[in-house]
A and B are shown apart, each in its own frame.
Chain A
Amino acid sequence: MANLKSDKADITKLYKELVIKHASNPYNFGSLKSDAVRSTGINPLCGDKLEIYISTHNDTIKKIRFEGVGCAISIASASMLTEILKDTSISEAKKIAWSFISELSSNRELSENDFIKNNKELSILCAVKDFPTRIKCVNLSWQTFLSAFDDDIKITSTE
Chain B
Amino acid sequence: MDAYRKDFPAINQSINDNKLVYLDSAASSQMPTSVIDEVARYQMNDHANVHRGIHTLSHRATMVYEKTRQDLSDFINAKNTNEIIFTSGTTESINLVAQSYCRPKLNKNKKILISHLEHHSNIVPWQIVCEQTQSSLEIAPINNKGEIITEDLISMIDESVVLISISHVSNALGSVSEVKKIIQAAHKNGVPVLVDGAQSIPHIKVDVEELNADFYVFSGHKMHAPTGTGILYGKEDLLEKMPPYKSGGDMILEVKFTGTTYNDLPYKFEAGTPNISGIAGLGAAVGYLRKIGMINIESHEKNLLDYMSSELKNVDGINLIGNADNKIGVQSFTLENIHSHDIGTILDHQGVAIRTGHHCAMPVMEFFGISGTARASLALYNNKEDIDCLVAGLHKVNEVFS
Contact = CB atoms under 8 A, between A and B. Distances in A.
Given A1-B12, A12-B396, A72-B338, A47 B371 contact: yes
Chain A contact-residue range equals 20 to 34
A20 to B, nearest CB: 6
Given A46-B358, A47-B358, A70-B339, A3 B400 contact: no
Interface residues of B, number: 25
Contacts of B13: 1-3
Interface string A21-45: 0000000000000000000000001
A153 interface: no
B37 interface: no
A6 B16 contact: yes
A133 B16 contact: no
Given A6-B17, A134-B345, A20 B401 contact: yes
Contacts of B400: 12, 15-16, 20
Given A6-B16, A71-B339, A11 B371 contact: no
Contacts of A70: 339
B341 A71 contact: yes
B367 to A, nearest CB: 14
A131 interface: yes
B341 A46 contact: yes
B10 to A, nearest CB: 9
Contacts of B340: 71
Nearest to B12: A1
Contacts of A16: 400
A3 B14 contact: yes
A49 B289 CA distance: 42
Contacts of A121: none
A24 B326 CA distance: 38
Contact of A12 (B349, B371, B372): B349
Interface of B: 9, 12-17, 338-342, 345-346, 349, 356-358, 362, 365, 371-372, 396, 400-401
29 contacts: A1-B9, A1-B12, A1-B13, A2-B14, A4-B14, A6-B17, A8-B16, A10-B349, A11-B346, A11-B349, A12-B349, A12-B400, A15-B400, A15-B401, A16-B400, A20-B400, A20-B401, A46-B357, A46-B358, A46-B371, A47-B357, A47-B358, A48-B371, A69-B371, A71-B341, A73-B341, A73-B342, A131-B345, A134-B345
Give 6 nearest A-B pairs by CB, closest first: A71-B339, A71-B341, A2-B13, A3-B14, A11-B349, A72-B342
